[in-house]
Amino acid sequence: TTQRRHASRQRFAAEFSQCLFDFVVQLLPTQEELAVKEDVRKLLERLIRTIEPDSRLLSFGSTANGFSLKNSDMDLCCLIDSEDRLSATDMVTMLGDLLERETKFHVKPLPHARIPIVKLSLDQSPGLPLGIACDIGFENRLALENTRLLMCYAMIDPTRVRAMVLFLKVWAKRRKINSPYKGTLSSYGYVLLVLYFLIHVKNPPVLPNLQQIPPLRPISPEETNLNGHDIWFFDDIQLIRQRWHSSNTQNVAELLIDFFKYYSKDFPYQTGVASIKSGQLMKASKGWQSDLDSPRYNDYRERNRFCIEDPFETDFNVSRCVTKDGLYTIRGEFMRASRILASRPERAIIALAQLCE
């Protein structure tokens, strides 16, 4: 019977893997959508340059990291190369006025937000059946770098990593656990959980740790310092792909099953921190434990329920928005997914449908 169980498990995983790929392919943005988005970026860049001639408008987030779904929003970052640039607050106000005058976008400037941004949206059109949503921020160079890091990981093992991440993003959206404003986790957070699992939990690992591979030539700390954060990572992906071969041969379904199992019952939510740079850390050693217990910091109490360290801003907990209820819901969803997959329904497609119900 053990043998028969093993065979049945393998059969299910093979079929489920295929289902996952078929499913994920349909979710990718079309060439047309990508082209329209690039046109929008260029148009906005041209307009911004009428305010700041030395500026560039760059994509980050899913449109630039290889984890984009159909109709995902556009994250744009404006970099200004001149010395005496306007403040982000002023830029947001001026750009908001300009876009309101010159374009058909719905414009919402948020000059006084913690990170000042202009929010834009465009109604649907033939090329964009679902319209467009876009945030423009300023000088967010760390986000550009973490986007590049995620893209490099996506490129090392495009089949398994991308399928897993894309599936998880859709799953989290369908299960409604992808709203930092409502106490659950951002897409960025979910991507970090997948990478943490593939780099540090899986043995043998599916991905190398790019932040711990030393540079080929000596590099001074200043070169890799951005606002006091070490942004070094090994980004020569050609070379990595030639030299680094994972001895982990699990297919994407097996990895996903283990992923859900791990975050259902093995990840130490109470005490642990998931860090893609350093592996598993302790909340206590980062000073992220105390907030939970101290009644004095009432506002902050919720902040460190769930801890995911940002790869570069290591003092920043990416999941600080996750509340007690949010974490309870997320963990419940990991368990639900794990249960569905463990039950191995007759047809893998049924498992997939149930998961994303």
Rule CB under 6 A: which residues touch ligand CTP?
60-62, 65, 67, 69, 72-73, 75, 143, 146-147, 169, 186-188, 318
Nearest to ligand CTP of 305, 344 (CB atom): 305
Nearest to ligand CTP of 94, 195 (CB atom): 195
Residue 66 sits in the site that holds Mg ion (CB under 5 A): no
Nearest to ligand CTP of 141, 301 (CB atom): 141
Query: 133: how many CB neighbours lie within 10 A of its CB?
Result: 15
- How far is residue 95's CA from residue 74's CA, in Å, rounded to a whole number? 17
Q: Which of 52, 75, 157, 333 binds Mg ion (CB under 5 A)?
A: 75
- How far is residue 61's CA from residue 190's CA, in Å, rounded to a whole number? 13
Sign, Cα dihedral of 204, 206, 209, 215: positive
Half-sphere exposure of 258 (CA within 13 A, CB side): 17
Q: Residue 297 contacts by C-beta under 8 Å, 6 or more apart in sequence?
A: 290, 291
Contact partner at residue 60 from ligand CTP, Mg ion, none, CB < 5 to 8 Å by partner kind: ligand CTP
Residue 61 sits in the site that holds Mg ion (CB under 5 A): yes
Minimum distance, C-beta of residue 274 to Mg ion, in the bound complex (Å): 21
Q: What is the dihedral of CA 147, 163, 204, 61, to 10 degrees?
A: 10
- How far is residue 291's CA from residue 299's CA, in Å, rounded to a whole number? 9
Minimum distance, C-beta of residue 234 to ligand CTP, in the bound complex (Å): 19
Residue 272 in tokens = 């642990």
Minimum distance, C-beta of residue 190 to Mg ion, in the bound complex (Å): 12
Nearest to Mg ion of 75, 254 (CB atom): 75
Residue 139 region by backbone torsions, left for phi larger than 0, else alpha for psi between -120 and 50, else beta: left
- How far is residue 112's CA from residue 114's CA, in Å, rounded to a whole number? 7
Contact partner at residue 67 from Mg ion, ligand CTP, none, CB < 5 to 8 Å by partner kind: ligand CTP
Nearest to ligand CTP of 60, 138 (CB atom): 60
Residue for token pair 């000042």: 116
Minimum distance, C-beta of residue 343 to ligand CTP, in the bound complex (Å): 29
Q: Where are the beta strands (DSSP E) in the chain?
A: 55-60, 74-80, 106-110, 117-122, 132-138, 225-226, 229-230, 272-275, 279-282, 308-309
Contact partner at residue 55 from ligand CTP, Mg ion, none, CB < 5 to 8 Å by partner kind: none
Q: Which range touches Mg ion (CB under 5 A), out of 72-80, 225-233, 253-261, 320-328? A: 72-80
Contact partner at residue 188 from ligand CTP, Mg ion, none, CB < 5 to 8 Å by partner kind: ligand CTP
Minimum distance, C-beta of residue 188 to Mg ion, in the bound complex (Å): 8
Minimum distance, C-beta of residue 313 to ligand CTP, in the bound complex (Å): 8
Minimum distance, C-beta of residue 72 to ligand CTP, in the bound complex (Å): 3
Q: Total residues at the site for Mg ion (CB under 5 A)?
A: 4
Nearest to Mg ion of 172, 255 (CB atom): 172
Query: 298: how many CB neighbours lie within 10 A of its CB?
Result: 9
Minimum distance, C-beta of residue 318 to ligand CTP, in the bound complex (Å): 5
Contact residues: Mg ion, CB under 5 A: 61-62, 73, 75
